[in-house]
Structure formats: structure tokens, C-alpha cells
Amino acid sequence: MAADNPFVDPVTSEDETREASFTVDSTLTVGRDASLTLGTDTLIVLDEAFEEKDSKNCCGIFSSSKISANTRAIPFYNIVWAEFRDGELVIDYAAPKSKTAVQAATLNYRIENPNEAAIEFWVMKLVDRAYGPSQRRKRVKVLVNPHAGRGRAVKWYGRDVEPLLKAARCTIDMVKTKYSGEAIEITENLDVDAYDVVACCSGDGLPYEVFNGLGKRPDARNALSRIAVVHIPCGSGNAMSCNLNGTYSVSLATLAIIKGIPTPLDLISISQGETRFLSFLSQSLGIVAELDLATEHIRWMGQARFTYGFLTRLIKQTTYPCDIAVKVAMDDKSEIREHWKREKVNREPMSERRGYNNFEDDDASARSGNEDGLPPLRYGTINDKLPDGWEMVPHNLRSFYCGNMAYMAMDQDFFPAALPNDGYMDLVCITADTSRLTAIQMMLSVENGKFFDIPEVWYRKILGYRVIPRNQEDGYVSIDGERIPFAPFQAEVHRGLGTVLTKSGHLYEARGP
């Protein structure tokens, strides 16, 4: 049973019998004046030497975990490795450096006349508690975009990422990308049996390339389910880390990845012209796409450029005419909220979170065709006739915004009901008849978490859509923050096609609706 359930620590379950016949104290004495105790959530370190070190002020990184002059508590979450070798006990952990950063640190104790079996068993229990259901010693392909953000990704990798991965005994294979699109080539040809994780030290642009590289392979489905794509926030747009790691901190994101639990991720096929590619984060047209893509010239304003861009478009009452057909799954906010609450406590195994096992819709093609490549399109491409039951409706929108994750940036929880693998995209449309005042309220409400409840926010869970822009020579369509041609496109979601690592194993780090 334990092997089927990612939320049960298999090592713990299997070892219950071993433990029963092996009376091991939770406290390990590691010297005359020191002991280590496995507490509920922390390792409690009692060491007379702390007092002395404190008086010499040489134990700064440990001070935030101080319980008393000679006792410290290290959360199991922060412990990344422990081993007993050649008479020495070594515990590697992420020590708090500031409120928003951790750094690799080590505790060493040489033990005279050790009871090796007892110590090894104690170490095993410590590592079990430190990792829970998360895989240890992950094999990580790291891709660093040297141009991401303000060009500091390489420096941050060396300072914050690599030391923690090494402390966790991960296998590391790092490559700096040399040109745009190289991450697609690398992952299209990656030996997926040799790695567990592809980690992008970048903005959201590199994960977008990685999903698409894996998606181009003849064994796309296998590759996308085996390899967890993760993000270490080094760019200017870092929504992925916000959703999965709950942080913009490079070192805290690295720790979240070391401890992350494989989680299936819905991916979206976009069909435009003759091409098909994948989106993992969002698709937008109208005001949000322009803010994403057309405010580069005022980048010096920082986050304020979005507010400025939004207000100038609002004053001009800019609208975006288009024809839209949507395959709606839920359009009632209370139903959507109940759905999210149900999913929050859903502990279905991973295998049940991929594909549409009980798809009651019109088409069985989703499970037919090539078993290995990308799943067939249930709703066809943009060039096919409109699927049965879909209806093109003319709209005059201010914004068409479709999300697969909750946060679109730090504190920008646009899609609070989004879930990693419920098999739906979340769609927010803002219509032209929304007053300027309401539009401003909406903008402000995104930060204070009240966006979902504003009556004028038109929020739906959907399976697919087609958009055809009208009466505009040119404009902006943004897919995961990347610009694509201003031309008709169609989207449909594939349940749990991709894989990421999350802290919970099934939710984003957002509050929910």
C-alpha cells in the first residue's frame, strides 16, 4: 500500500517491524556534553559548547533556532542530509541567514566507541523525518539563464543553489544556456532515465521552453511524467516559484525543491496556424497581455509599470473585440469554491491525477492514438471546424486571461481557485461594460485576496476555448509571458500531463478562493 501512496513514507512503514525489535532512543548522546533528540518537528541539539561559541559570537547562523544558551532546534524541513562515517556523525542543514534566505551549514560530532548499528538506525530515522515522502538525493539537471533578470542568475546559482544541492547529496549537472531556445533542444534530447528533475535558474521563460522541449519528444508523455520541472527564481517574472515553492527567495526555493513532492501538473495545448505547443502558466489577450509584453520601455518603473500601464489603458477605455467559444465546466463561483475545498483534502494517488479516466465528454480520442507522444487533441486544432456544442460569441473585452496556476506574480493571486491537476483551466474575463472604478477595485483586490468575490469578476473553470481577434491590425497575445502572433488560436487542457514538485504534493502555495 505504502508504495502506491505518495503521502505515506514507505521507509517508515516498512521499518516499523525493524524498529520494534530495535529499541532505539530518540536521543543520541554524541559526547560528554552533547546530545541530539528527534522531537516532533525538529532536531533538538543540546551542546554545552554553544554557550562558549555564543560568547565568542561565532554561532550567528544558529541563533534564530536558539531555545536556551546550550540548546538549538533545527526543523526537520531544514535538514537536508545526515550520515555516520568513520566515527563521525555529519548533519547538513539549511541554516537561516535572514528572514528570506538560508545557507548550507554542517554539524559534526566525532563519537568515541560508537554503537554503530544504533547510530545508523538513529540517522536513518532522522533522514526519514527530514524527507518524508520526498525523494532523497535527486538527480538534477540545472539550466541557468545567464541573462535572466538583471544577469545575476550565475552568481546566485553559485552562492545559494549549488551549496544546498551539494549538502543534500543531489547529483548535479549544470549547463548555462547560450541562446534563446537552447533549453528546448537540451530537454528534447535529455536522457530522462538519468535525471529526476530539471531545475531552471531563470524567469518563467526557461520552464516554458523545458515543457515544450519534453513535449516535442516521441516519448513526450513518458518524459513529462518522469521529469519534474522546477523553478529557482532568478528572472524578472517568477510566477512558477511563487506557486510551487511559495517564495521568491533563491535559497528557500532550492530548499523547497530538495524537499519537494512530485505533483502532476495540467498542461495546455495551444494550436495556432499549423503549430501546436504547450503552455503551463497562462494565456492572455487584451490589457494583461499588453502589460506583460508592451511595457518593456518603462521597465525602470519596476512593479509600478503594471499599475501605470493598467491605468493609462483604463483612462483610454481600451477594449479588444474578439470572437470566443468556450467549453465551460463550471461557471458558478460557489460551485468552484466547493470544488477547490474538496480538492484541498483529496489524497488520491498520483496515478489517478493524470488523464481523464472518467471523461464523460464527447470524445474518446483523448485515450486513443499514439500512446507515447503528446495526447491527441479532443477538440481538434484551430483549423478544424468548431467542436460540437461550442458557440462563437462576439465579445468586446478589456481582458481575456486564462490561468493554470494561481499567482501570476508575487501577491498577484489572479486565479485563486486554480489547482495543479484538477484538469481545468481558470478563465477570467473583464468585459467592456465594467466601469473604470470597478476595474481599479479589481486591480487592487488582486493583492488583498478579494478579487474572486467581486461580482463583476467573471470566473469560470473550463476545458478549452477558441479566440479570434477582430478589427485590430495588430496586438498582443501572451502565452506564459512570451509573445505569439496576434492571430486566432485554440487551447485545451490535458489533466496531469506534466510534473512539478510542490510542498504539499497536491496544491499551489496560494490561499484558495
Q: Which of 92, 162, 188, 209 touches ligand ATP by CB under 6 A?
A: 209
- Taking the least distance from each CB to ligand ATP, the nearer of 238 and 251 is 238
Residue 458 Ramachandran class (φ > 0 left, ψ -120 to 50 alpha, else beta):
beta
Question: Could you give the string, one character per residue 76-115, with x where binding to ligand ATP holds by CB under 6 A and - elsewhere?
Answer: ----------------------------------------
Q: Which of 114, 146, 373, 376 touches ligand ATP by CB under 6 A?
A: 146
Q: CA nearest 260: which of 485, 506, 488?
A: 506
Q: Fill in the amino acid letter for 313.
A: R
The answer to whether residues 483 and 180 touch, using CB atoms and an 8 Å cutoff, is: no
User: Could you give the CA distance from residue 413 to residue 415 in angstroms, rounded to a whole number?
Assistant: 6
The answer to whether residues 374 and 219 touch, using CB atoms and an 8 Å cutoff, is: no
Q: How far is the CB of 177 from ligand ATP (least distance, A)?
A: 3
- Taking the least distance from each CB to ligand ATP, the nearer of 36 and 405 is 405
Q: CA nearest 80: which of 118, 127, 141?
A: 127
Question: Could you give the string, one character per residue 335-354, with x where binding to ligand ATP holds by CB under 6 A and - elsewhere?
Answer: --------------------
Contact status: 369 vs ligand ATP (CB under 6 A):
no
Q: How far is the CB of 144 from ligand ATP (least distance, A)?
A: 9
Structure letter (DSSP) for residue 236? S
Given the residues 204, 292, 413, 480, select the one marked as catalytic.
Answer: 204
Question: Could you give the string, one character per residue 214-253, with x where binding to ligand ATP holds by CB under 6 A and - elsewhere?
Answer: ---------------------xxx----------------
Q: Which of 38, 148, 228, 467 touches ligand ATP by CB under 6 A?
A: 148
Q: How far is the CB of 484 from ligand ATP (least distance, A)?
A: 12
Contact status: 305 vs ligand ATP (CB under 6 A):
no
| Angle made by CA atoms 286, 292, 298, in degrees to the nearest 5 | 115
Contact status: 186 vs ligand ATP (CB under 6 A):
no
Question: Could you give the string, one character per residue 444-483, with x where binding to ligand ATP holds by CB under 6 A and - elsewhere?
Answer: -------------------------------------x--
What the block records as the C-alpha cell of 70 is 546550550
Structure letter (DSSP) for residue 149? T
Q: Which of residues 4-33 bind ligand ATP (CB under 6 A)?
A: none
Residue 204: active-site member: yes
User: Could you give the CA distance from residue 228 to residue 192 in angstroms, rounded to a whole number?
Assistant: 10
Where do runs of H (alpha helix) occur along 197-249? 205-215, 220-226, 239-244
- Exposed (0-12), middle (13-18) or buried (19+): which is 504, by Cβ within 10 Å? middle
Q: CA nearest 292: which of 463, 412, 425, 467?
A: 412
Q: How far is the CB of 8 from ligand ATP (least distance, A)?
A: 36
- Taking the least distance from each CB to ligand ATP, the nearer of 172 and 293 is 293
SS3 107: strand
- Taking the least distance from each CB to ligand ATP, the nearer of 87 and 181 is 181
What does the DSSP assignment read for 329-369? Answer: EE--HHHHHHHHHHHHT----GGGGSS-TT--SS--GGGSS
User: Could you give the CA distance from residue 467 to residue 312 in angstroms, rounded to a whole number?
Assistant: 25
Taking CB atoms, the residue at the shortest distance from ligand ATP is: 203
Q: Which of 60, 87, 181, 394 touches ligand ATP by CB under 6 A?
A: 181
Contact status: 204 vs ligand ATP (CB under 6 A):
yes
Q: Which of 105, 164, 192, 203 touches ligand ATP by CB under 6 A?
A: 203
Contact status: 169 vs ligand ATP (CB under 6 A):
no
- Taking the least distance from each CB to ligand ATP, the nearer of 32 and 178 is 178
Q: Fill in the amino acid letter for 442.
A: M
Residues 6+ apart with CB under 8 A from 304: none
Contact status: 178 vs ligand ATP (CB under 6 A):
yes
Q: How far is the CB of 409 from ligand ATP (least distance, A)?
A: 11
Q: How far is the CB of 362 from ligand ATP (least distance, A)?
A: 36
What does the DSSP assignment read for 17-65? Answer: HHHHTS---SEEEEETTEEEEE-SSEEEEEETHHHHHHHTT--GGGGGG
Instruction: State the DSSP H helix or E strand holding residue 14, giving kind and residue range, or none if neither.
Output: helix 10-14
Instruction: Give me the torsion for CA of 254, 259, 264, 269, rounded to 10°.
Output: 0
Stretch of 161-169, 185-193, 197-205, 279-287 lying at the interface with ligand ATP (CB under 6 A):
197-205
- Taking the least distance from each CB to ligand ATP, the nearer of 305 and 337 is 305
Contact status: 145 vs ligand ATP (CB under 6 A):
yes
Total residues contacting ligand ATP by CB under 6 A comes to: 20
The answer to whether residues 510 and 347 touch, using CB atoms and an 8 Å cutoff, is: no
Contact set with ligand ATP (CB under 6 A): 145-149, 177-181, 202-206, 209, 235-237, 481
Q: Which residues are catalytic?
A: 204
